Structure 1
Amino acid sequence: MKENLATLLTTQQAALKLTDKELAEALGYSNERLIAMIKAGTMNLPVNKVPALAKALQLDSFELLRTVLSETAPELWNAIESIAVPLGALHPTEVNLLRHLRVLRAGREASPIVFDGKGVIALIAVE
């Protein structure tokens, strides 16, 4: 079962030794009590704060979005997931490959050359 937002936030915050004040600042809040309210479940994390929180907590933003929307708007999440992830969630290594591809291609066209041999699965040629 996936962790809820409060548990995820508390666990990762402790692991990174971040204070509520530091998290609040990372989210653009001047009041650290908002972080305590989110952890207590008395305030929902605004969806537009997901990227900043993911960055501050060193989490995958898509997975954090999944957690937030699953708790606050499950019907919306189900609709997004059915459109955005029709083949299922990408494995973290697949996400890593795509992130590197986007950086390397820098807006240029890229063509995959796919072969399977000696541990190399795909090579991308950037034009």
Structure 2
Amino acid sequence: EKDRQSMAVTAKNAKPAVTHFEVLENFKNYAYVLCRLETGRTHQIRVHMKYIGHPVAGDPKYGPRKTLESHGQLLHASALELDHPRTGKHMRFEAPLEPEFAAILHDLETEVIQ
């Protein structure tokens, strides 16, 4: 409430935000998680994951100072679905995992990263 540049889970003047998540794979110190958003609030995934004690790796604002080395948060929008505002047609866009993210997952799977 005091930091206008950060978001938080709070009951005071809060807008609803719903994130569903599923753990796809557990590693020693990390987990690969699929999130599905019902709402689209600012920093929603980052805030919710921090709130439950599992911040996003590589997140300098909502995560721990020491984490996996990356060029940013290890977040990836694999798919975006929406109904076109003019035509009403349902649209879906998909994107493959970035090579850096895929390499980090591979290292976690092969226990190169602890």
* Length-normalised TM-score, structure 2: 0.26
The structure with the largest alpha-carbon Rg is 1
Q: Which has the higher helix share?
A: 1
Give me the TM-score of the superposition, normalised by structure 1: 0.24
Q: Return the structure number with greater strand share.
A: 2
